């Protein structure tokens, strides 16, 4: 049954392990990516996301496990035979070759007929709008143009799967957001499977059909961006996604009549509307309550299942909206709100939120 599922998927990773000497980088990792899906591998530096991508590309010899691409076991195949194209962070353009030669290198190595090569280059150049750059050397291109050529190099090879290894990290912020949109358009036009590695959560949220959040060589959560954002499976995922970061209040879950409540230093949050992960309420014990700054309202009247008084400590205007920092139950707490109604530092305010939108984590950091 397992193998059958692997055949239907575009890329399947089965029990993949990779050791560098005694260091276990990836441990029995499983991943199934559907045909035409845009999957982002997201995580902090050193979490193994680029390593996983290199394993899929065949640039690293794995210690154990199997890799399927289009249902074919490619575990021991050379990168060129896997039907993949790869785009690197540093562009990795061959400096001594013109753009055209860069694009055609793989095709010339594969000894494709000349007119076929010309045709494919013309198509890729048209898609990426680099026709006028074909005769230039990489040194004469800007960063954005170089990355376009690098994408083109994957494009001309007519591959099933595109692999992106932090392709936008070397670009400035403005160019990054421009190329982000272009990559999304490219995916819509080509409908290829794409696997994209990044540590930038904005890129992950905007591009992905599904995000795999990684940490320490283990996939923590693999789900649609909104699902990961709203229902993170553990405290690491909750804290890693979202900017400004999620608030965490340390406290404990207690019995409250027929229901449960979250209590922390004089604070009591009713959990009657909270959807527990297992469906059944957990046993009382130490816990952390996470709530995103944008899910908290400030001075917006009554009617919230939970509300409390607090004093504003710092106000950070960010243009479109303002981040208000306050102390709640002796712990740091932030509220994101529109700039017009922002309070001043020192003001006494009332905050309120719906526990339905909160995330509860147990002492081990797993979602309750």
Partner 1 sequence: MNIATKSPTIAADADGDTGPRGPKPKRTLSRRNIIVYGTLLVAAIYYLLPLYVMIVTSLKGMPEIRLGNIFSPPLEITFEPWIKAWSSACTGLNCDGLSRGFWNSVRITVPSVVLSIAIASVNGYALANWRFKGSEFFFTILIVGAFIPYQVMLYPIVIILREIGLYGSLSGLVIVHSIFGMPILTLLFRNYFTSMPEELFKAARVDGAGFWGIYLRIMLPMSLPIFVVAVIIQITGIWNDFLFGVVYTRPETYPMTVQLNNIVNSVQGVKEYNVNMAATLITGLVPLIVYFVSGKLFVRGIAAGAVKG
Q: How far is the CB of 137 from partner 1 (least distance, A)?
A: 12
Assess contact for 154 and 87: CB atoms under 8 A: yes
Provide the binding-site residues for partner 1, judged by CB under 8 A: 54, 57, 59, 78-80, 84-86, 88-90, 92-96, 105-106, 109-110, 150, 153, 157, 165
Q: Decide whether 159 or 342 has the Cβ nearer to partner 1.
A: 159
Q: Decide whether 82 or 292 has the Cβ nearer to partner 1.
A: 82
Q: Decide whether 163 or 246 has the Cβ nearer to partner 1.
A: 163
C-alpha 172, offset from chain centre: 19
Q: How far is the CB of 81 from partner 1 (least distance, A)?
A: 8
Q: How far is the CB of 74 from partner 1 (least distance, A)?
A: 13
Q: Decide whether 102 or 297 has the Cβ nearer to partner 1.
A: 102
137-144's contacts with Cβ under 8 Å and 24+ in sequence apart are 137/95, 137/96, 137/97, 137/98, 137/99, 138/91, 138/93, 138/94, 138/95, 138/97, 138/99, 138/102, 139/95, 141/99, 143/91, 143/170, 143/171, 143/172, 143/175, 144/171, 144/175, 144/178, 144/179
Q: How far is the CB of 96 from partner 1 (least distance, A)?
A: 4
Taking the C-alpha atoms of residue 363 and residue 368, their distance in angstroms, rounded to an integer, is 10
> Taking the CA atoms of the chain, what radius of gyration do you get in angstroms?
25
Q: How far is the CB of 78 from partner 1 (least distance, A)?
A: 8
Q: Decide whether 105 or 304 has the Cβ nearer to partner 1.
A: 105
Q: How far is the CB of 183 from partner 1 (least distance, A)?
A: 18
Q: Decide whether 163 or 312 has the Cβ nearer to partner 1.
A: 163
- Of 156, 166, 222, 162, residue with least CA distance to 187: 162
């Amino acid at each position: 049954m397992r193998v059958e599922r692997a055949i239907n998927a575009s890329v399947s990773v089965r029990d993949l392990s990779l050791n560098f000497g005694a260091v276990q980088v990836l441990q029995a990792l499983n991943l199934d990516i559907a045909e035409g899906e845009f999957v982002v591998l997201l995580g902090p530096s050193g979490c193994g996301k680029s390593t996983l991508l290199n394993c899929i590309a065949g640039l690293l010899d794995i210690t154990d496990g199997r890799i399927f691409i289009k249902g074919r076991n490619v575990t021991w195949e050379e990168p060129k035979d896997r039907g993949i194209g790869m785009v690197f962070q540093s562009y990795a353009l061959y400096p001594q070759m013109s753009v055209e030669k860069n694009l055609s290198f793989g095709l010339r190595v594969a000894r494709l007929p000349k007119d076929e090569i010309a045709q494919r280059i013309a198509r890729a150049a048209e898609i990426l709008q680099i026709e006028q750059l074909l005769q230039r050397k990489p040194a004469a291109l800007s960063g954005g143009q170089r990355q376009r050529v690098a994408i083109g190099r994957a494009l001309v090879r007519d591959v099933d799967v595109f692999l992106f290894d932090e392709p936008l990290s070397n670009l400035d912020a403005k160019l990054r957001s421009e190329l982000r949109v272009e990559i999304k358009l490219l995916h819509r036009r080509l409908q290829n499977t794409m696997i994209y590695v990044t540590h930038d959560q904005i890129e992950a949220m905007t591009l992905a059909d599904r995000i795999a959040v990684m940490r320490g060589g283990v996939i923590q959560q693999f789900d649609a961006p909104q699902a990961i954002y709203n229902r993170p499976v553990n405290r690491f995922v909750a804290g890693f996604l979202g900017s400004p970061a999620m608030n965490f209040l340390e406290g404990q879950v207690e019995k409250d009549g027929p229901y449960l409540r979250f209590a922390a230093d004089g604070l009591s949050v009713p959990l009657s509307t909270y959807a527990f992960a297992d469906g059944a309420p957990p046993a009382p014990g130490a816990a952390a309550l996470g709530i995103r700054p944008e899910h908290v309202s400030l001075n917006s009247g009554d009617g919230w299942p939970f509300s409390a008084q607090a004093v504003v400590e710092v106000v950070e205007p960010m243009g479109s909206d303002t981040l208000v920092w306050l102390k709640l139950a002796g712990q740091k707490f932030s509220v994101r709100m529109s700039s017009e109604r922002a309070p001043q530092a020192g003001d006494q305010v009332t905050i309120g939120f719906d526990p339905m939108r909160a995330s509860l984590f147990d002492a081990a950091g797993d979602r309750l």
